[in-house]
Amino acid sequence: MIRRLARLLAYGLALGLAGPAAAEESTRFPASEHERTTLTIRSAADIDAMAPLIRDYQQLYPDVTVVYHEYITADLFGEVAASCAVGHADRDRPADVVISSSVDHLIKLANDGCARAHHSIETGRQPDWAAWRNEVFGFTTEPAVIAYRPDLVPREDLPRSRVELVDLLRRKPESYAGRIGSYDITLSGIGYLFAAYDGRAAATYGRLVEAFGRANLQVRCCTSDLIADLETGRIAIGYNLLGSYVYRAMRRGARLGLVVPRDYTLVLSRAVLVPVTARAVGDAFAFIDYLLSERGQRVSREEAFFFDRTGPLPPGIDGPPSLSAAGAFRPITVGPVLLAVQDRARRARFLAEWRQSIGAEAQKADVGAPKASRRAEEP
């Protein structure tokens, strides 16, 4: 606890300095054989999800030690952008691989010339929407889902699309007011990304936000908080949660249900890039090739992120037969379109509108949320 406080303090200072010394947790995966090199991964992804992939990678490259630093997306972006602007990474803060769920950050970095290009058989097999410039590669398939407590939501109430969700909130406000949870998009990068893409489907988005406002939407900084609140029963339905994390909780034994919306399914492809300041460039590209390879994708499907583009959904999920089926598949393309999401005027305006609709609850969360809670912001 003391260590955590100290770290948080350090983080607060770091914010003040706007420096690269951002808060992070690091895990070391030592090489099983004589260590040839050290691969430093700076990532905004749960270590629990990434560990199986890293270990399997080390099966192929047993002489590589992997050091995994976990970040929240905004800090990761700040640090990589800063070292890119300087032209080299801090001596004791190297970064060979950068992974983020805020794909828009990585796109912005690549657009600013901070990423290295990589061409290989694996990168050549990627669909167009899952890679940009051979610099940013989406390597996961994570749908935005509706998570719920089966004991709190009767089967007939279960919303299978956004329209049904709006309908449910209108029909039974007394049952669900204050029991719907979603991201605080002013804090959560992934929440903002999903909301921005919901916003592109203008017809339903307006009604959805309005319904959320009326139903006193509970906003949280991050997926883990939402899952925790679902588990304790403080909320009954969580909207737009990262399917991979919810499914992990289900496998862990949490009593949760998971609906992949049938009207359209937003799919995030968590992305990876190799910064220009990387040192172990070859190993970094080998790691990317591994992530994109069939072997890496199989490990990802079975142990890390549980979904893939074309295969059937994991068992026990209510949804279409596969993510890419029936035209409901809306990938968040890894490409320059995400620069629109990054636009600050657009973001300010979008957040202002969202705050206005969601109302006081969001305001309270915004003001009341102590800096400390940001640690867990990112999934």
340 touches other proteins by CB under 8 A: yes
3-state secondary structure of 272: strand
Judge contact between 96 and 40, C-beta under 8 A. yes
Q: Give the whole-angstrom CA distance, residue 236 versus residue 240.
A: 13
What's the min distance (Å) between Cβ of 200 and other proteins?
A: 6
Residue of the chain from 92, 128, 174, 294 that contacts other proteins (CB under 8 A): 128
Looking at 243-251, 272-280, 341-349, 360-368, which segment touches other proteins (CB under 8 A)?
341-349
Candidate list 87, 113, 315, 368; residue touching other proteins; CB under 8 A: 113
Distance between CA 306 and CA 301 in Å, rounded?
Answer: 4
Contact 165, 238 (CB under 8 A): no
Residue closer to other proteins by CB (options 218, 269) is 269
Buried b (16+ CB within 10 A) or exposed e, 193-207: bbbbbbbeeeebbeb
Question: Whole-angstrom Cα distance, residue 163 to residue 150?
Answer: 20
The answer to the question of residue 349 lying near other proteins (CB under 8 A) is yes
Q: In this structure, what token pair is assigned to residue 348?
A: 């300010």
Interface mask (CB under 8 A) for other proteins, residues 173-202, using x and -? ---------------------------x--
Counting contacts by CB under 8 A, is residue 88 touching other proteins? no
Three-state secondary-structure class, residue 201: coil
Stretch 1-60 residues interacting with other proteins (CB under 8 A): none
Q: Which of 213, 275, 335, 379 binds other proteins (CB under 8 A)?
A: 335
- Cα separation values, 226 from 166, 180, 240, Å: 20, 10, 10
| Residue with smaller CB distance to other proteins, 151 or 343 | 343
Instruction: Indicate which single residue of 343, 356, 363, 364 sits in contact with other proteins (rule: CB under 8 A).
Output: 343
Closer to other proteins by Cβ: residue 29 or 77: 77
Binding-site residue total for other proteins (CB under 8 A)?
20
351 binds other proteins (CB under 8 A): no
